[in-house]
Amino acid sequence: MAGRIRDEDIALVRERTSIAEIISDTVTLKSAGAGNLKGLCPFHDEKSPSFNVSPVRNVWYCFGCGEGGDAIKFLMDAEHLSFVEAVERLADRAGLQLRYVEDDRATGRSRPQQGQKQRLVAAHAAAVEFYTAQLTTAGARTAREFLAERGFDRAAAERYGCGFAPEGWDPLTRHLRQRGFSHDELVTAGLSRPARSGSLIDRFRRRLLWPIRDLTGDVIGFGARKLFDDDDGPKYLNTPETPIYKKSHVLYGIDQAKREIAKQGRVVVVEGYTDVMACHLAGVPTAVATCGTAFGADHIGVLRRLLLDTDAVAGEIIFTFDGDAAGQKAALRAFEDDQRFVGRTFIAVSPDNMDPCELRLAKGDLAVRDLVARREPLVDFALRHVISRFDLDTVDGRVEAMRRAAPLVAKLKDQEKRPEYVRKLAGDLGMEIEPVQRAVLAAASGRSANGPARAARSEPAVDSPQSMVEREALKLALQEPVLAGPMFDAVEASDYRHPVHVAVRAAIGAAGGAAAATGGAVWIESVRDACEDLAAQALVGELAVEPLRIDGEPDPRYVSVTMARLQWGSVTARIRELKSRIQRINPVSDKDEYFATFGELLSLEQHARALREQAAGGL
């Protein structure tokens, strides 16, 4: 094995490297005066830029987290490279040939073994060459037709490196093995996988492929689209998590969009590979897309550094989603992340519910540009979506819509906009400003609104015994589904009285029920996805970590007591309603209704006694 890199070669790499160019691949830098540059630190979250670069001295330092160093240190920290790997990356970029020493003597030859990351990147580069060549073969006709039907010609396919995974179990594997890549390297890269027989086979087969690149332009993975009906795999299949491919950090198209994102101070987040291609080709060069996962905090961090998203330079983040139910749900989830951005968030939805690729094909490039130009603030969309679910012609409908919409206004990071949105919400609801203002202030402070908002509907207060037992039941379903599942699922959503609790109970049912869940983060996320409004989504996250109201571990008896107390509350409320109704019924003229109601009352009172005995264990 070769030894260390010669000291004079390391010094030459430092001399020939522009630290500003290296860092600009990841961070947007602006002038800080005196020849220095500044941006948002990639190593910790911050609202104002404290990351400083001195091109003259070829060093960087962050006054926020205290990290600093030269270009080599930056690559080591930003891309998790070893010292040697970072030096080799910079040497390749500068066109320098490194020499290595062994036992303090120059070997006079290049290092025979690269670091793991470089080997995995090299394997992907070789795979791109193989797959793009396969796209021109007779077997790839369906893949070429797929692209053509969506408005992408050969030049577009070449620009984005589209390829085709051919028929056969291991053509890529054999090709890469002949190029010198080992069994372990191909498995680690996610390009191949072991078969049941023990041999190595390709991960992708008979699919259209898009290479996924990182900020520097290196290919680190692939997205694969199903083409044939007899392919029983998912519609889209992505590279699995590898040392170089982390789906929570990756944005498709970021390598081509990054400079325009920094220049325009705007990014357009779309949903798929073809949407990115369509936007770029239509004149929206700032489009990017996630790769096989939801848009999240790590993606936001990448974009904020490119946008230089600070109080002084606030960028624009524009989400495009289909207008269907799934697209609306995705948009509402995006609103939850709004607070992570300093800049303004918008949404652009095609009036015909078409994605950018479909829109470009149907109406041309101008329609795609107009879609982005017609964007609206994300909060406006979220408010309109929430209040559309209620009957605003009724008092109950207006009050309930106000309750659900108030937390959205309360979440606005720009507090100066809250009064205007209070007035807008009041106008949309047809209500006076005062009760809406109280509801927003209460939501901002975490309290329940008093006055007309509370009196308009009979429901338990947040800290009432009924509400507390409802929360406990939901916590059991989220935190202990294996234990609580059957008993929890047997209690209907109608036994919950608080509207947000009802929404969470409905989401648990929509996610398959607690009895079918195994618990953990996947279960919590599936319930969150099934929630129809932001308040329910937020409550799921809260209940998933809130401690249960019991010392020690919960057991079946504790679940039984909790569910009995939950049902007892709703049964006694129903008993009160029936007693009130009986008093208003004339037992002579409305005899049938009287006896039917009286019979239901007796049955419920018997059920209430049984529940009271079941709940006698105490919480």
Mean pLDDT, residues 582-610 taken together: 78
Q: How far is CA 351 from CA 318, 328, 333, 367, in A?
A: 16, 13, 21, 11
User: What pLDDT score was predicted for residue 329?
Assistant: 67
> What band does 107 get if pLDDT is binned at 50, 70 and 90?
very low
The rounded radius of gyration (Å) of the Cα atoms in the chain is 30
> Vertex 110, ends 104 and 115: CA angle to 5°?
95
pLDDT at 313 over 80: no
Query: Can you tell me the distance from the alpha carbon of 321 to that of 384, in angstroms, rounded to the nearest whole number?
Result: 16
Q: What is the DSSP letter of 214?
A: -
**In terms of DSSP bridges, do strands 105-106 and 163-165 run parallel, antiparallel, or are they unpaired?**
unpaired
User: What pLDDT score was predicted for residue 277?
Assistant: 97
pTM of the predicted structure, to 2 decimals: 0.64
pLDDT at 243 over 80: yes
Q: Alpha-carbon dihedral of residues 83, 85, 88, 90, nearest 10 degrees?
A: -70
Query: Can you tell me the distance from the alpha carbon of 296 to that of 333, in angstroms, rounded to the nearest whole number?
Result: 9
Q: Are 194 and 200 in contact (CB under 8 A)?
A: yes
Residues making up the chain, counted from first to last: 619
Is it true that domain 251-382 has CATH number 2.40.160.20?
A: no
Cα dihedral sign, 296-267-22-216:
positive
Q: Any alpha helices (H) in 179-320, and if so which ranges?
A: 183-189, 254-264, 273-282, 297-307
Query: Can you tell me the distance from the alpha carbon of 216 to that of 74, in angstroms, rounded to the nearest whole number?
Result: 14
User: What pLDDT score was predicted for residue 105?
Assistant: 42
337-354: pLDDT as tens digits: 666 666 788 989 887 788
Name the phi and psi angles at 106, rounded to 5.
-65, 130
Query: Can you tell me the distance from the alpha carbon of 570 to that of 549, in angstroms, rounded to the nearest whole number?
Result: 21
User: What pLDDT score was predicted for residue 2?
Assistant: 46
Q: Say which CATH class 4-106 falls into.
A: alpha beta
351 three-state secondary structure: coil
Which of 33-47, 303-317, 358-372 tops mean pLDDT? 358-372
**Residue 398 neighbours by CB distance under 10 Å:** 21
pLDDT at 190 over 90: yes
Q: How far is CA 109 from CA 102, 132, 499, in A?
A: 11, 33, 72
Q: What is the DSSP string of 67-82?
A: -EE-HHHHHHHHHT--
Across all residues in the chain, what is the average pLDDT? 84
Is it true that domain 116-238 has CATH number 3.30.465.10?
A: no
User: What pLDDT score was predicted for residue 330?
Assistant: 66
Query: Can you tell me the distance from the alpha carbon of 66 to that of 77, in angstroms, rounded to the nearest whole number?
Result: 13
User: What pLDDT score was predicted for residue 1?
Assistant: 39
**3-state per-residue secondary structure call for 442-476:** HHHHCCCCCCHHHHCCCCCCCCCHHHHHHHHHHHH
- Structure tokens, 291: 């790769």
Query: Can you tell me the distance from the alpha carbon of 193 to that of 305, in angstroms, rounded to the nearest whole number?
Result: 35
Tokens 């929404």 locate to: 503
pLDDT at 456 over 50: no
Q: What residues contact residue 24 under an 8 Å CB cut-off, 6+ apart?
A: none
**Residue 551 neighbours by CB distance under 10 Å:** 5
Chain centroid offset of residue 188 CA: 25
pLDDT at 447 over 60: no
pLDDT at 288 over 60: yes
